[in-house]
Amino acid sequence: EFKLSVSRIETYLECPRRYFYNYETRLPKLTDYPRLAGIEIHRHIRLLHRKSKHPQPFYFETKEKNINAWIFRWQRALKKAKEQKKLQFEDAFLEKRYQRIGIICVARYWNSNLKLPPPLQVEHYYETPAAPWIKLIGYLDQLRGVSLDYIAKHRPELVKNGELAPGYDPVVIVDLKSGAHDYSLTKRQLENQNICEQVRQQFDLHEHLQATVLTFLYEKTTGKKPIGFVWYHLRSGKTFFTYREDPDYATLYGDIHHSIENITAESFPKHIGSRCKNCDFLVPCREDSYFILV
């Protein structure tokens, strides 16, 4: 039995050789400040929704304690990564910068979600067969219930006579993102670009494999589709809505079949590009050749 995740599929599609080093060997796994901060911010927000001894919205009593706990978490994660020699490109400025980014993320999450109902699920694991010997797996950051008014605004075609169409659950999958990029259209873009140019800015939001995989997993597990997928940009507090339907699964099946067929054939060619400069496996990828500076 072979378990396939979004990260495995995307890694193979981006660079088969990187997939080989990451999943087929015992080479040490490294990290950098953006990845380390992303993992720790996710863990911290998961902790916010842990039940506490006293009835309160979040695990911590106050926003200040929430921020202080994040600072402690970040310093502990940095220390551990350095002790294990997993942190690439050590930089005191970046350590402070990503500590600050984490503060912004957890503080804005606190402000935006303090009065909202809690998620129905947090960091929930799903798996489903994708082929006779392949299981597709994934984690939902959050699953949240939504009102009929919300559905009517974002998916009006799903509301008939005041009722949700059969085959759908009144929920959205929420995926937390801590990176710098979001899908906002700037004032200049809105004023100077035509609709086709604007669509290009958000194309990958509505095609990205992650939303497709998580929607597929939820549907195969529950028998119903979520009404959508929310890309939650933690730095700004903005959310971006998208959804997937059956035709989107064709892309997923194609990616699964392409990846599996080539992995089982042990086809791991290099795919050289600008991403190489940040790759964990740059040294083994050079193999027996010298490094050159010109």
The Cα–Cα gap between 249 and 3 comes to 18
Asked if residue 132 has pLDDT above 90, the reply is no
Percentage of the chain exceeding pLDDT 90: 91
pLDDT of residue 180: 93
CA separation (Å) from 178 to 74, 103, 222, 236, 255? 14, 11, 29, 9, 26
- Mean pLDDT over 130-137 rounds to 90
Residue 130 has pLDDT above 90, yes or no: no
- What type of residue sits at position 11? T
If pLDDT is split at 50, 70 and 90, which confidence band does 186 have? confident
Return left, alpha or beta for 171; rule: phi > 0 is left, psi -120 to 50 is alpha, else beta: beta
Higher pLDDT, 52 or 73: 73
Note the pLDDT of residue 23.
96
Q: pLDDT of 7-59, one tens digit each? A: 999 999 999 999 999 999 999 989 999 999 999 999 999 999 998 888 899 99
* Average pLDDT score, the chain: 95
Sort 118 into a burial class: Cβ within 10 Å, 0-12 / 13-18 / 19+.
middle
What digits encode the pLDDT tens for the residues 205-264?
999 999 999 999 999 999 999 999 999 999 999 999 999 999 999 999 999 999 999 999
Amino acid 271: pLDDT: 95
The residue type at 145: G
